[in-house]
Structures are given as C-alpha cells and as structure tokens.
Amino acid sequence: MDRMLVVVFPNEGKAYEGKKALQQLDGEGSITVYAYAVLTKNADGTATVKQGDDVGPMGTLLGTSFGTLIGALGGPAGMAVGAAVGMAAGSTVDLNKARVGSDFIDDVQKALSPKKVALIAEIEEEWTTPVDTRMEAIGGTVFRRALSEVKDKVDDEDVSAMKADLAQMKAEHAKAQADRKAKLQDKINQLDSKIQAQLQRAKERHEETQRQAQEKVKILKAKAAAAKAKAS
C-alpha cells in the first residue's frame, strides 16, 4: 500500500539516523521508498528542508503529493526550501493534492513543535512493524496515512450537483421575463465557470497521479534491475 510517512524526532541527528534506517529497510526489501526529505521546524514557526539533502528519486517532482505535504507542514508562516526540493517558498498549498486528510496534517503539525525535525517520506509498505520498530527505537514518533483517491469521487459529486443547479437555472431562464433573464444569465455564467474550473482541477490531479504512477514503475524497474545485476 502506498503511504505518506512522517516521523518526528527531537533533533536533526536523530532524524538522519531515521533516514538511514529508512534507506536500510528499502535495501532489505521491507519497504519501497519513493521520496524522502528532512524538515526542521524553526523557532519562529517557519520550516526548512535541509539544503542539499537527498530527497530520493521522486523528490524533485513539482506538484506531487509528497511536495504538497512538505509545503503544508511549512505552516502559515511559510518555509525556506533547500535547492534540492523543487517547490516555491511561500506558494499557496492545495491540500487536495496532498492526498491525505487535513486531520493527518494537523496531527503532524501539533507534534512538530519548534526545533523538532521531521523525516517525511512517500513509501510502499505491506505491514507497519518494520518501520515502527526501527523509528521508535531511535526516538521517533510515527505518523502514516494511506494515499487516498477519495477526492476524485467528491469532485464528481460536486460537479454533478452544480450541473443540476445549472440545468435548473437554464430552465428558469427560458421562461423568465427580460429583466430577470439578465440576472439569471450572470448566475449561469458564474456557475458554468466554477464547473469548468472544477473539471480542470480534476483533470490536472488525474494527470499528476498518472505521472507519479509512471515514475514509481520506473523506480521499481530500476531497483529490480540493480538487484538482478548484483545477484549475477
């Protein structure tokens, strides 16, 4: 199952121990790691992704759920982002792209108090014990959430509801007097614009999900090829 993983540590040294353990678990085949980064919560409430930190094979993809989560954990005060992470500081975060619930982000933010450090990763794992055991032994607090596709269903329902309203307005417009027609037409235009914008956002999210899936397949094939070469 693909999951977003955040492990909060008391300091940077422990976080890098956690990152090393995560890489070891990936090498052992216990999990598959697609992206990772180390984020420090500063005393002033901002967050910093460590400059030059290795963010893994998917870490530089713009607009991914991984990148969006990093932006969300930066908090309302903004964040300073290392050059290794391709994300604009201070940009507006679309939580829908994170593919995890806002409650998950809230829980992590509560634990990620100033001067604490988070190891953030997008992983595939079949069971939670390997990661939990290693991270808890280092002193980390583990948060995880399966990546969700539920938002697509919500989008479809929202668009269907708006289309029903639009059909009703058009029916009223056809029977309305001239003075009422103009007002109805304004509402029709506004609602139609919202529908088109919603459809465009849904299309972009779908395309991004497809792109991430293709990148993950490439990563898995590369790992399989490396393992085969090592065994031969």
Residue 43 bridge partners (DSSP): none
- Beta pairing, strands 79-81 & 47-49: parallel
Q: Write the CB contacts of 194 (distance below 8 Å, at least 6 apart in sequence).
A: 162
Mean pLDDT (the chain, rounded): 79
Q: What average pLDDT does this structure show over 127-150?
A: 87
pLDDT value, residue 54? 56
Least-confidence region, from 38-47, 77-86, 156-165: 77-86
3-29 burial, b at 16+ Cβ within 10 Å, e below that, comes to bbbbbbbeeeebbbbbbebbeebbeee
- Beta pairing, strands 47-49 & 31-41: antiparallel
Q: What average pLDDT does this structure show over 215-222?
A: 81
pLDDT-based confidence at residue 81 (cuts at 50, 70, 90): very low
Phi, then psi, of 21 in degrees rounded to 5:
-65, -40
Q: What average pLDDT does this structure show over 111-117?
A: 92
Q: Write the CB contacts of 8 (distance below 8 Å, at least 6 apart in sequence).
A: 108, 111, 112, 116, 117, 118, 140, 141, 143
The domain ranges of the chain are 2-148, 151-231
pLDDT value, residue 18? 96
77 has a pLDDT exceeding 80: no
Q: How far apart are CA 153 and CA 31, in angstroms?
A: 29
Q: What average pLDDT does this structure show over 114-138?
A: 92
pLDDT value, residue 58? 52
Least-confidence region, from 2-11, 15-24, 53-62: 53-62
Classify residue 195 as exposed, middle or buried by CB count within 10 Å of its CB (0-12, 13-18, 19+). middle
pLDDT value, residue 225? 86
Q: Cα–Cα distances in Å, from 96 out to 85, 119, 129, 154?
A: 20, 21, 29, 11
Least-confidence region, from 44-58, 62-76, 161-175: 44-58
Percent of the chain with pLDDT over 90: 22
H or E element: which one contains 38? strand 31-41
78 has a pLDDT exceeding 50: no
pLDDT-based confidence at residue 155 (cuts at 50, 70, 90): low
pLDDT, tens only, 157-208: 668 878 888 888 898 889 888 878 888 898 899 889 988 888 887 787 777 7
